[in-house]
Amino acid sequence: MTIDPNENVNPAHEDEESSDEFAAMLEAHESESDSGEVSEVKIGAKVTGKIIQIDGHEAFVDCGFRNELPLSVDELKDEDGQLQYNVGDEITAHVQKGNDGPKLTMAINLRESGRQALLDAYEAGTPVEGKVGETNKGGFSIDLGGVRAFCPFSQIDVRRADDPAVFVGKSFKFKILEVSEDQRNVVVSRRALLQASRDEEGTETRDSLELGMALEGVVTRLVPFGAFVDIGGVEGLVHISQISFQRVGDPSDVLREGQNVNVKVMEIQNLGQGRSERISLSIKALASDPWPDTAGSLAPGTDVPGLVTRLVDFGVFVELLPGIEGLIHISELANRRIIHPREVVNEDEKITVRVLDVDLDRRRISLSLRQASEYDGD
């Protein structure tokens, strides 16, 4: 705007006009924001937000809308009534219609919300609360707050339910998979929710995974050749040779499913590529190595007790101390010529051997059975 220097301008009047204009612009902006908010808060929508307040029976969550949305504090507690979340924590929930406007829920309670909420939850994919009843052919009977539903055995968990009885009487969140027109046949899945959460966690784990990382995991499966460990939505394998410095004949001898273990990432192949993904882990790599101190205490020329662990064509491996094995060459098993070690000893047999040599650098201990003082063979 060009100002004529000869024109009489009233500074006070100019300030008043500017103030009025700014107020009008601010009011228009807020009006636009208000109209936009209503369309953004959609019933049934899945949202993520941060807990900003926990007060009495309600928590308030900032999901990026103009107003924070309330959430019942009971939904933030575990089965023992302990609060699982704190102010500042991020949660994912669903928008539900409340008496005083939109509110959040981790899972809809159909007993409180009515049967129409069943269809709303089905269409929106919102979790519903349910209690596992008796088992029947193929699955469980689920009480969804007065609505009877069916959950197949395969849909109760991400892993096979070896003992279905452990789920009976417990309450979980379920996703509705099917609803018949008369609402009499309802099929639900707990696995769908667990898998979705696991997939999200797995994506974060893969993004941060690096060789050499030390992680805490949970043993999920034991197999003859090792143990599978969940390290956060992703499974890796601890080969039987990487479980312990001590020889392990069967992983179930030292590990159990559900056990927490610390592992080190040893190898990563085809990360994120489905069945070709390979993550090699080690428990042994984070444990203290008994060799330097323990093996060094074994003096050549002394006799020590041991346990036969393996028979091979060229000799016998003997465990002298936890994690410390030595080798009896076939020529040191007897004073006579033998074809195979089984002619003299058996696996898991306790014997006394003489230490011939200890090579700490090469991690080798040479032993003799025939030179031991207790030897009475031919």
The amino acid at residue 78 is D
- pTM summary value: 0.59
Q: Residue 24's pLDDT is what?
A: 47
Percent of the chain with pLDDT over 70: 86
Q: Residue 114's pLDDT is what?
A: 62
Residue of 325 and 35 predicted with greater confidence: 325
**Residue 155: is its pLDDT beyond 50?**
yes
pLDDT tens track for 278-314: 999 999 999 888 888 788 888 899 999 999 999 999 9
Bridge partners, 142 (sequence order): 132, 149
Query: Are domains 46-105 and 296-368 of this chain identical in fold?
Result: yes
Mean of the per-residue pLDDT values for the chain? 84
296-368 CATH pick, 1.10.760.10, 2.40.50.140, 2.60.120.260, 3.40.50.720: 2.40.50.140
CATH superfamily of domain region 114-193: Nucleic acid-binding proteins (2.40.50.140)
Q: Residue 35's pLDDT is what?
A: 40
Q: Residue 112's pLDDT is what?
A: 60
**Residue 342: is its pLDDT beyond 60?**
yes
**Residue 133: is its pLDDT beyond 70?**
yes
Under CATH, which number does the domain 209-286 receive?
2.40.50.140
Q: Residue 270's pLDDT is what?
A: 92
In angstroms, the CA 38 to CA 123 distance is 20
pLDDT bin (cut points 50, 70, 90) of residue 30 is very low
Q: Residue 268's pLDDT is what?
A: 95
pLDDT tens track for 44-94: 677 889 999 988 788 999 988 888 889 888 888 876 778 888 899 888 888
The domain limits of the chain are 46-105, 114-193, 209-286, 296-368
CATH superfamily of domain region 46-105: Nucleic acid-binding proteins (2.40.50.140)
